[in-house]
Amino acid sequence: MTHGAPGARWFVRERSVTSPVVIFDGIEKSYGQTVALRGVSFDVNGSEIFGLLGPNGAGKSTLIRILMDIIRADRGRVMVFGEPRRREHLDRLGYLPEERGLYTKLAVIDVMTYFGALKGLSRAEARRRSLAWLERVELPHVASWKVDRLSKGMSQKVQIASILLSDPEVCVLDEPTTGLDPVNVQLVQDLLLERRRNGRTTILSTHHMNQVEALCDRVALINQGQLMVYGGVDEVRRHYSLPEVRVHARGPLPQVAAVARVTEEGAGSWRLLLSNGTPPHEVLAALVASGATVDRFEPLLAPMEDIFVRVVREGRA
Amino acid sequence: MSRWQKIKTVATFEFLSAVKRPGYLIATFGMPLFMAAYGGVVAIPAYYAEKGSRAPTVFGVVDEADVLRLSGDLNAGSRSQIPEDMRQALEAAGQAQALDRAIASDNFVFRPLATADEARAALADRRLKGFFVIPKDYMQEGLLDSYSPDSFNVTGSDSREALADLLRQRLVERQVDPALSARILKPIQRTRRFAVTPTGEIRDGGSAASIVRFALPLIFMVLFLLSVLMTSGYLMQGTATEKENKVVDVLLASANPDQILAGKLLGLGGAGLLQIAVWLTMLMGTGLGIVPMLMSTRVDVPWLALSIAIPFFVVAFLFFGGLMLGTGSLGTNMREAQQLAMVWSLTAAVPLMMMAVLIREPNGTIAKVMTWIPFTAGPVVVLRASNDATLLAWWEIAGSLLVLLVATWIALRVGARLFRIGLLSAGARPSLMEIVRQARLSA
């Protein structure tokens, strides 16, 4: 399958280790004269946390809503679990939308039970799991509360628990940590990592690039309805990085070939810009061979934040 | 999870959410109590007014023409205000006396007075409610002078009617024997009614027998309209709440729009119907006497109409509900939603508005045409079956139900598409072009 729209300047080929559970194939969507998606194609593999990135209005939410069959694509197809997406698949998919809420006049447990039951659980099972999930998100005392009594953070965690309690095989979370304090952000991140350990797939749409680096296996970056970047997080970061390494060594650093520039950072730390095409391990071998005592050697990767900004700006230009 | 399980889940949730609301409980149980309290407040003064009206109302008569020949106070007797047909029905049910007690009747006493001056003095002292002078040339001119207090008086025409009866009676009694006199004064004392079936069989055709035939379609129409109006309110409110609470995407990511729509119709429709059932039960239980009346009367129960009333009610209810929910969901707020759905409420009321025509000609052209129109089929078929089942062909019932079923299926499909468009369009109401475009896309 070809990934990336014609004209996309940045293209990263993924290294798939597991079979895809979601395939977007040439998705196009317009709202009147406004084109939201232009032939977007990529896969999401099983048991991974997949970052769906892009600036506001890039088309992420449209793509997610097409996956969830809330709106229909003008062209293209969506494959889920190896077959064309059908309404029956919805019980195996979870979705936490960006614009979200709960029934404010009802009890928390009733709302959670309803959302669980809509995903195919019996009412009794949905209720049991709701109580268990409230424990998981450290809110067991709010079960009988009316939703409008919850704080914003509590409501956020109840919403996440409501979606996850049916244990969906693929779950799309759109900005799940917005408005949460750092402790609760960590709590949610732990839940996502646990899902991955349990073989579940999560599509994470977020603007928090530190979360992408910490959690995501692979990413797709959409800008102006086109797929601009797609692949493993490390691969993407390497692709956008300068050929630089950081070396922590004792004593002076010997000069070696294939290093174009050396910058001393102090406290035994140097930053080395490698000549084009030089693999970092060759530089390490050369340093050791020249008598250097290397304590630490690491390739320097560009932060996702910088890549995001660079891709979006170039897209606008 | 099967389609029906999703519908059941939505329906259960909507039903329980609706019936647990304080507003619903207050309306369901508070409304009859409020009506009872209101009735009590109105009834107490009415009771004393009625008690007062049973005391005789005395009118003076100055009989210069010597027509009445009164020797002292003459009680003209009670004049029942109950129509003959209704009286017969109530007598058959053994309820006439009860109604007589409940409904006010006049009780006039005519007091002979020698001169108009004497009468005027008595009226000025308010010892009389008024007085009449029958002039000497009454027999030639038919002229009567009526005097009343210079205050608001509502008994004038009734007292004149009572005096006219008395005059007629006295004039006739002079000329003919009592039996003929009685027949001239009241040519039809009672009517025995019979109904002849197409097979020539004679049945009781009295009002008591036919009261159910008349009442059933009327109850059907009123209940149907009430159900549609009540439920539409809940449906509009439910959809507006989901838009406000931003749970739309979560719902649509879990169930089809048509499953959500059907679940809402069943759940909220059930809540609306339960409310009406509670009201009806409380109304019947508080002594209208309908049940004892039916039990004690030889009524002709229209079994066919009764048996088809429920399926026609349910299907027609879903038909209107689908249209109302779909249309109403396009509104950006509750008020706009109700305005959009109003057209269907008015359409549902058409059979009730045309009740007089339909009862007069239950098998006329208008009724036959309305039998095949989904908007009117339910009430009209029940009315025709209730009136005379033999004039309603089986294929008309089956065909009408089929048309209604097909129309309901289309209404639910169209309603579901509008519902999806309405749910997804936050903010401004979508234009007609946008609705058509979206409807085509969601096909």
Considering only the beta carbons, identify the residue of B5, B13, B256 that sits closest to A114: B13
Specify the DSSP class assigned to residue A205. Answer: E
Q: Which residues of B84-96 are buried (b: 16+ CB within 10 A; e: fewer)?
A: eeebbbbbbbebb
Q: How far apart are CA B27 and CA A261, in angstroms?
A: 82
Q: Please give, one letter per residue, the 3-state secondary structure of A136-176.
A: HCCCHHHCCCEHHHCCHHHHHHHHHHHHHCCCCCEEEEECC
Tokens of B81: 């205000």
Average pLDDT over residues B175-202: 79
B256 touches chain A (CB under 8 A): yes
pLDDT at B326: 82
Q: Is the pLDDT of residue B431 over 70?
A: no
Q: Is the pLDDT of residue A162 over 60?
A: yes
Inter-chain touch B5–A120, beta carbons under 8 Å: yes
A93 contact residues in B (CB cutoff 8 A): 253
B253 contact residues in A (CB cutoff 8 A): 68-70, 90, 93-95, 97
Specify the DSSP class assigned to residue B389. Answer: G
pLDDT at B368: 92
pLDDT at B247: 85
Domain with CATH 3.40.50.300 in chain A: 20-238
Average pLDDT over residues B261-287: 81
Residue of A nearest to B437 (CA): A32
A97 touches chain B (CB under 8 A): yes
Inter-chain touch B252–A68, beta carbons under 8 Å: yes
Q: Is the pLDDT of residue A16 over 60?
A: no
Window 8-47 of B: residues touching A by CB (8 A cutoff) are: 9-10, 12-13, 16-17, 21
Query: Residue B207: which pLDDT band, with cuts at 50, 70 and 90?
Result: low
What are the pLDDT digits (tens) for B345-401? Answer: 888 889 888 888 888 888 889 999 999 999 999 889 988 888 877 788 899 999 999
Q: Is the pLDDT of residue A29 over 80?
A: yes
Q: Taking CA A238 as the corner, what is the angle to CA A234 and CA A244, rounded to the nearest 5 degrees?
A: 130
Q: Is the pLDDT of residue B47 over 80?
A: no
pLDDT at B373: 94
Q: How far apart are CA A113 and CA A161, in angstroms?
A: 11
Q: Please give, one letter per residue, the 3-state secondary structure of A81-130.
A: CCEECCHHHHHHEEEECCCCCCCCCCEHHHHHHHHHHHCCCCHHHHHHHH
Q: How far is B23 from chain A (nearest CA, A)?
A: 12
Specify the DSSP class assigned to residue A199. Answer: T
A118 touches chain B (CB under 8 A): yes
A72 contact residues in B (CB cutoff 8 A): 441-442
CB B372 within 8 A of CB B403: yes
Inter-chain touch A114–B441, beta carbons under 8 Å: no
Q: Is the pLDDT of residue B229 over 90?
A: no
Q: How far apart are CA A99 and CA B243, in angstroms?
A: 11
Average pLDDT over residues B237-263: 83
Q: How far is A292 from chain B (nearest CA, A)?
A: 59
- List all residues 6 or more positions away from A195 whose beta carbon is below 8 Å from its beta carbon: A49, A164, A171, A201, A202
3-state secondary structure of A193: helix
CB B224 within 8 A of CB B313: yes
Residue carrying structure tokens 């002079």: B174
Q: From the centroid of its chain, how far is CA B32? A: 17
Q: Is the pLDDT of residue B240 over 80?
A: no
Q: How far is B265 from chain A (nearest CA, A)?
A: 17
pLDDT at A256: 79
B21 contact residues in A (CB cutoff 8 A): 105
Window 66-125 of B: residues touching A by CB (8 A cutoff) are: none
How many other C-beta atoms lie within 10 A of the C-beta of residue B41?
Answer: 10
pLDDT at A192: 96
Q: How far is B273 from chain A (nearest CA, A)?
A: 22
Of A143-147, B98-102, B103-107, B141-145, which range is least confident? B98-102
Looking at per-residue confidence, does A115 or A18 come out higher? A115
Is 0.90 exceeded by the ipTM? no
Inter-chain touch A118–B9, beta carbons under 8 Å: yes
pLDDT at A252: 79
A110 contact residues in B (CB cutoff 8 A): 16-17
Inter-chain touch B253–A90, beta carbons under 8 Å: yes
Q: How far is A61 from chain B (nearest CA, A)?
A: 11
Q: Is the pLDDT of residue B79 over 60?
A: no
Q: Is the pLDDT of residue B432 over 80?
A: no
Residue of A nearest to B441 (CA): A72
- What are the CA-CA distances from residue A193 to residues A166, A201, A236, B59 (Å)? 17, 10, 21, 99
Looking at per-residue confidence, does B85 or A73 come out higher? A73
Average pLDDT over residues B295-316: 78
Of A302-316, B171-185, B223-237, which range is least confident? B223-237
Kindly report the backbone phi and psi dihedral angles of residue B3, in degrees, each rounded to the nearest multiple of 5, phi listed first. -55, -45
Window 133-162 of A: residues touching B by CB (8 A cutoff) are: 162
pLDDT at A215: 94
A64 touches chain B (CB under 8 A): no
Q: Is the pLDDT of residue A3 over 60?
A: no
Q: How far is B343 from chain A (nearest CA, A)?
A: 29
Domain with CATH 3.40.190 in chain B: 56-191
Q: Is the pLDDT of residue A224 over 60?
A: yes
pTM of the shown model: 0.72
Q: Is the pLDDT of residue B105 over 60?
A: no
Longest dimension (CA), chain B: 96
pLDDT at B438: 62
Average pLDDT over residues A194-222: 94
A70 touches chain B (CB under 8 A): yes
CB A23 within 8 A of CB A83: no
pLDDT at A6: 47
pLDDT at A214: 92
Question: What one-character-per-residue DSSP string does B324-380 give?
Answer: HHHHHTTSSSHHHHHHHHHHHHHHHTHHHHTHHHHHH-TTSHHHHHHHT-TTTHHHH
Q: Is the pLDDT of residue A275 over 80?
A: yes
Q: Is the pLDDT of residue A294 over 70?
A: yes
Kindly report the backbone phi and psi dihedral angles of residue B176, in degrees, each rounded to the nearest multiple of 5, phi listed first. -130, 170
Q: How far apart are CA A74 and CA A34, in angstroms?
A: 13
Q: Is the pLDDT of residue A64 over 90?
A: yes
A95 contact residues in B (CB cutoff 8 A): 249-250, 253
Average pLDDT over residues B5-30: 88
What is the signed CA dihedral for B27, B30, B35, B40, rounded to 10 degrees? -170
Q: Is the pLDDT of residue B442 over 80?
A: no
Inter-chain touch A97–B249, beta carbons under 8 Å: yes
Kindly report the backbone phi and psi dihedral angles of residue B44, in degrees, each rounded to the nearest multiple of 5, phi listed first. -60, -55
Inter-chain touch A72–B441, beta carbons under 8 Å: yes
Q: Taking CA B262 as the corner, what is the angle to CA B257 and CA B268, rounded to the nearest 5 degrees?
A: 120
Q: How far apart are CA B376 and CA B110, in angstroms?
A: 55
pLDDT at A42: 93
3-state secondary structure of A79: strand
Fold of A20-238: Rossmann fold (3.40.50)
HSE value, Cβ hemisphere, 13 Å, CA-based, for B154: 2
Q: Is the pLDDT of residue A10 over 50?
A: no
Q: What is the CATH number of domain A242-300?
A: 3.30.70
How many other C-beta atoms lie within 10 A of the C-beta of residue B313?
Answer: 18
Q: How far is B404 from chain A (nearest CA, A)?
A: 28
How many other C-beta atoms lie within 10 A of the C-beta of residue B66?
Answer: 11
Q: How far apart are CA A288 and CA A254, in angstroms?
A: 9
Instruction: Calculate what percentage of chain A has a pLDDT beyond 90.
Output: 56
Q: What is the CATH number of domain B56-191?
A: 3.40.190
A163 touches chain B (CB under 8 A): yes
Domain with CATH 3.30.70 in chain A: 242-300
Mutation choice for B interface testing from A72, A88, A91, A118 by most B CBs within 10 A? A118
Considering only the beta carbons, identify the residue of B17, B254, B424 that sits closest to A71: B424
Window 389-428 of B: residues touching A by CB (8 A cutoff) are: 424, 426
Of A76-90, B115-129, B183-197, which range is least confident? B183-197
Query: Residue A2: which pLDDT band, with cuts at 50, 70 and 90?
Result: very low
pLDDT at B298: 58
Inter-chain touch A70–B254, beta carbons under 8 Å: no
Q: How far is B407 from chain A (nearest CA, A)?
A: 25
Q: How far apart are CA B128 and CA B288, in angstroms?
A: 38
Q: Is the pLDDT of residue B49 over 70?
A: no
Q: Is the pLDDT of residue B293 over 70?
A: no
Q: Is the pLDDT of residue A143 over 70?
A: yes
B250 touches chain A (CB under 8 A): yes
Looking at per-residue confidence, does B96 or A115 come out higher? A115
Query: Residue A7: which pLDDT band, with cuts at 50, 70 and 90?
Result: very low
Average pLDDT over residues A156-183: 94
pLDDT at A1: 47
Residue of B nearest to A88 (CA): B1
B366 touches chain A (CB under 8 A): no
Q: Is the pLDDT of residue A90 over 50?
A: yes
Q: Which residues of A33-66 are buried (b: 16+ CB within 10 A; e: fewer)?
A: eeebbbbbbbbbbbbbbbbbbbbeebbbbbbbbb
Q: Is the pLDDT of residue B197 over 60?
A: yes
Q: How far apart are CA B144 and CA B131, in angstroms?
A: 11
- Contacts across the A-B interface (CB distance below 8 Å): 74
Q: How far is B409 from chain A (nearest CA, A)?
A: 20
Q: Is the pLDDT of residue A131 over 90?
A: yes
Average pLDDT over residues A263-268: 84
Q: How far is A195 from chain B (nearest CA, A)?
A: 20
